């Protein structure tokens, strides 16, 4: 098998262990003689997977009994609508830190009075807004903790006087989180916890049932709590891969251990960006993401962008092209990205700089 260094932003690199176990389950799931994508979701064997996956989420994030863990279809983009449907009664505020935060706000505006409390759009979302005051007369405050396109991240738990809701699609399980501070944490799986096709939602049960509007059955979190995430047929295979990914994470020491690894990986790459005369980071240093490292050619070297991209590709670097809306480069170094891949990218940058010196 060809060896590459996978920096894709999502779907992205997954643990070898999870992939191997998933391949085995496609051949014979739990001794049933059926593939995991053939087995009934009402079977005992599948029920055990669902129970184990929920249990691992609870253990890895220390999720209190006040919150329920849900596995849903539709990805994080569908969750944008879930949020407003279940929590917006009169007014809601959003922290506008990038494209996905804007999309989440758009869905809320379609259902009621929702607005951006603070925004970093004035500097192309290159920083996290600060100094804002969360009003107490809103139904909830929504944040996007990690911004994959722009490489910024909120790496702390905000103290909010109102229910706090967070899209953690791209940094969930990369660092410790005080789940008790949130009414809802949600995201797509395809960054740190599995393949595309399933979304996770960690919802505080007593925060639900506060809105007066009719909530369509499939968009009501209570439906899925009551149904154990199996009101309808769940996305079986993505959940299986998620479960195997969580088992891998537990096996290497859990969230505290992976956080140390992630900080180390990001430090290696940011140090090279800051040292290398050919490159410059695009995110404010105090807000740099440890998941998505964004950078461009330094002033005067812009004409070398395509040449470096080709040079890196020849050396096995995959997925480092920046998002189409911003250009440049982006290395997504999620949990399963090995430090060896980051070191290989750094060596590639050093070698290219030496050639152009």
Identified catalytic residue from 21, 57, 167, 265: 167
Nearest residue to 185 (alpha-carbon basis) of 209, 206, 204, 210: 204
pLDDT at 210 over 70: yes
How far does Cα 198 stand from its chain's mean position? 12
Q: pLDDT tens digits for 165-201?
A: 999 999 999 999 999 999 999 999 999 999 999 999 9
Q: List the structure tokens of 46.
A: 């599948």
pTM of the model: 0.97
* Domain formed by 254-356, architecture: Alpha-Beta Complex (3.90)
CA distance readout (Å), 282 to 63, 237, 286, 315: 34, 37, 12, 24
> Catalytic site residue 100?
yes
Q: State the Cα–Cα distance between residues 169 and 187, nearest whole angstrom.
A: 4
Percent of the chain at pLDDT exceeding 70: 100
Strand partners, 180: none
Q: State the Cα–Cα distance between residues 193 and 144, nearest whole angstrom.
A: 17
Nearest residue to 296 (alpha-carbon basis) of 265, 342, 341, 327: 327
Identified catalytic residue from 191, 220, 248, 265: 191
- Dihedral of CA atoms 53, 56, 60, 62 in degrees, nearest 10, equals 100
Label residue 3 by pLDDT band (50, 70, 90).
confident
Label residue 324 by pLDDT band (50, 70, 90).
confident
Domain ranges of the chain: 16-251, 254-356
> At residue 33, what are phi and psi to the nearest 5 degrees?
80, 5
> Catalytic site residue 46?
no
Q: Taking a C-beta distance cutoff of 8 angstroms, is the pair 49, 75 a contact?
A: no
Topology of the domain covering 16-251: 3.40.640
**pLDDT mean over 44-66:** 98
pLDDT at 357 over 80: no
Q: Taking a C-beta distance cutoff of 8 angstroms, is the pair 344, 5 a contact?
A: yes
pLDDT at 2 over 90: no
> At residue 266, what are phi and psi to the nearest 5 degrees?
-65, -40
Q: pLDDT tens digits for 84-135?
A: 999 999 999 999 999 999 999 999 999 999 999 999 999 999 999 999 999 9
Q: State the Cα–Cα distance between residues 122 and 64, nearest whole angstrom.
A: 38
Q: Looking at 88-148, list the stretches that DSSP marks H as alpha helix, in order from N- to C-terminal side.
A: 99-109
Fold match flag (16-251 vs 254-356)? no
> Catalytic site residue 248?
no
CB-hemisphere CA count at 13 Å for 104?
31
pLDDT at 1 over 70: no
Identified catalytic residue from 21, 46, 57, 100: 100
Confidence at residue 199, expressed as pLDDT on a 0 to 100 scale? 98
CA 200, 202, 207: angle at the middle one, nearest 5?
A: 135
Q: List the structure tokens of 267.
A: 């430090």
**pLDDT mean over 259-264:** 98
């Amino acid at each position: 098998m060809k060896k590459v260094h996978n920096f894709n932003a999502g779907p992205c690199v997954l643990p070898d262990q999870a992939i191997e176990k998933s391949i085995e389950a496609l051949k014979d799931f739990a001794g049933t003689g059926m593939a995991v994508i053939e087995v009934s979701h009402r079977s005992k064997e599948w029920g055990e997977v669902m129970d184990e996956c929920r249990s691992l989420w609870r253990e890895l994030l220390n999720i209190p009994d006040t919150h329920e863990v849900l596995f849903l279809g539709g990805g994080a983009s569908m969750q944008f609508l879930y949020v407003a449907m279940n929590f917006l009664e009169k007014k809601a505020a959003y922290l506008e830190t990038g494209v996905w935060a804007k999309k989440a706000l758009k869905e809320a505006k379609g259902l009621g009075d929702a607005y951006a409390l603070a925004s970093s759009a004035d500097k192309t979302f290159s920083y996290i807004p600060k100094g804002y005051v969360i009003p107490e007369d809103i139904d909830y405050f929504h944040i996007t903790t990690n911004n994959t396109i722009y490489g910024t991240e909120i790496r702390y738990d905000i103290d909010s006087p109102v229910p706090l809701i967070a899209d953690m699609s791209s940094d969930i399980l990369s660092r410790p989180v005080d789940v008790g501070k949130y009414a809802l944490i949600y995201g797509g799986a395809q960054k740190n916890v599995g393949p595309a096709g399933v979304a996770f939602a960690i919802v505080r049960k007593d925060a639900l049932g506060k809105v007066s509007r009719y909530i369509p059955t499939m968009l009501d979190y209570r439906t899925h709590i009551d149904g154990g995430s199996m009101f309808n047929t769940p996305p079986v295979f993505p959940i299986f891969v998620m479960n195997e990914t969580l088992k891998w994470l537990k096996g290497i020491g859990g969230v505290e251990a992976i956080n140390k690894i992630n900080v180390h990986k990001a430090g290696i790459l940011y140090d090279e960006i800051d040292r290398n005369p050919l490159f410059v980071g695009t995110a404010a240093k105090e807000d740099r993401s440890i998941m998505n490292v964004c950078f461009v050619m330094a002033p005067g070297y812009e004409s070398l962008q395509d040449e470096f991209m080709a040079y890196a590709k020849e050396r096995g670097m995959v997925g480092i092209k920046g998002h189409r809306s911003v250009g440049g480069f982006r290395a997504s170094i999620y949990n399963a990205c090995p430090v060896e891949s980051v070191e290989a990218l750094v060596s590639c940058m050093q070698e290219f700089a030496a050639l152009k010196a």
